[in-house]
Structures are given as structure tokens and as C-alpha cells.
Homo-oligomer: A and B are copies of this chain.
């Protein structure tokens, strides 16, 4: 009689890696990144708090699994645009949306995402867009890594604001709106000139501009390299 996972009297183990990740996401979303503890996770799953260590060797491995989920979700329902600019822009916004949907997960996991080949499909799409823009080989590889990390960093950064508590957030908003207005026009003329506008910019607009600048930069870089 062979010993297989299906055989014997263990038809459905209580926990699976997927059910643990599901529970972890739920906790982190509802209660913030600090709420993700093994004991809280055990409570959510209705098991002893050490049971999850049968499936992940430590807490860090759980965080990495969250990172993978985030990327899969970001790139799941994606279709390339009509040209390479549209493709890059919509990919970037898709990544940010996933980060904003799970801000605490993004803050916890963004660094781990960028350092491992998360999604071949997403990478291929970006590199295809760069090829269309005129970048090949090593240039394409370099620009790919640069813009991927920029977009991910910007997305996580944008999301991280949502993880601050309401007091800290209001404090930061006030600081932007008020403190910059105190800058002396004599000592800091350029800053004083734009100070009234600084508080007036929301995160959506700022992110859109960041992606705009990067895409414009890619076009300029491709033109430079093509003519050299």
C-alpha cells in the first residue's frame, strides 16, 4: 500500500497555505500591518497560534506570500493598450490600485516583490512596450528595472499614507498647507511662490504626474540612444 496525500484518514487538513494567506490579508486590511501576529492569525483561523508554522517556516515567509498575492492581483485582469505609452501608464495605475486596495500589505511587501521574478507576463508586457519605444537588449533591461522599481516604490509610498492613523494624516496635511506658507519670500523666493499650490495637490494627481514624467523620460531616452 503506497502512502499518498489522498490516502488515509486525513482527507482535509484544517489549514492550507491559501487559507492562511486569505486570513492574513483580511487581518492586515482591517486592522493594519501591526495586527498581523501569529496569535491573531490563529484566532482568525480557529487554530492554535503555532499551527501556521506547519505551513510557513516563519512569519517572514507569510509576508512574502502576501507579496506574491499582491502582484498576481495587480496584473490579473490586464490588457495591453493601443501603444506602449498607454500600456505602461495603465500597468502603473493597476499596480497602484492593488497597493491602495491593500495598503498595509503593500507597505509590508513591496520591497520583496521587486527583488524576485513575480510575474513573467507582466515583465514581458513592459519589455515589449519598451521595445516598441525603441529600447533593446541591455538598455531595455536597465530601463525595465528602473521603471518597475520606481512604479512599485511610488505605489507603496502612495499606499503607505493610508496606513498612518487619522491624527498623523491630518497633521501631515496641515503641515503641507500651513508650514510652507511660513517660508520667508526673501530667503526662499521660489518656494514661497508655489507654496499656495502645494496643499492643493492630491495623491491621485501626483501619482499620475509621476508616471507621466517617467513615460516622457523613456521616450526621450529612447530618442537619445537611437540617434547615437
Residues of chain A whose beta carbon lies under 8 Å from any beta carbon of chain B: 107, 110-111, 114-117, 120-121, 123-124, 127-128, 131, 136-138, 140-147, 149-150, 152-154, 156-157, 160-161, 164, 172, 175-176, 179-180, 183, 187-191, 193-194, 197-198, 200-201, 205-207, 209-210, 212-221, 224
Is the beta-carbon distance between A188 and B146 smaller than 8 angstroms? no
Is the beta-carbon distance between A149 and B138 smaller than 8 angstroms? no
Is the beta-carbon distance between A183 and B124 smaller than 8 angstroms? yes
Is the beta-carbon distance between B213 and A127 smaller than 8 angstroms? no
Is the beta-carbon distance between B191 and A149 smaller than 8 angstroms? no
Could you list 20 examples of A-B contacts with CB < 8 Å? Answer: A107-B111, A111-B161, A111-B164, A116-B172, A121-B188, A124-B188, A124-B191, A127-B191, A128-B190, A137-B193, A140-B194, A142-B197, A142-B205, A145-B201, A145-B206, A147-B210, A149-B210, A153-B153, A216-B221, A219-B220
Q: A142-B206, A149-B157, A216-B216 are in contact. List 10 more A-B contacts (CB 8 A).
A: A116-B172, A123-B188, A124-B190, A131-B190, A138-B200, A142-B197, A147-B213, A150-B213, A153-B156, A213-B221
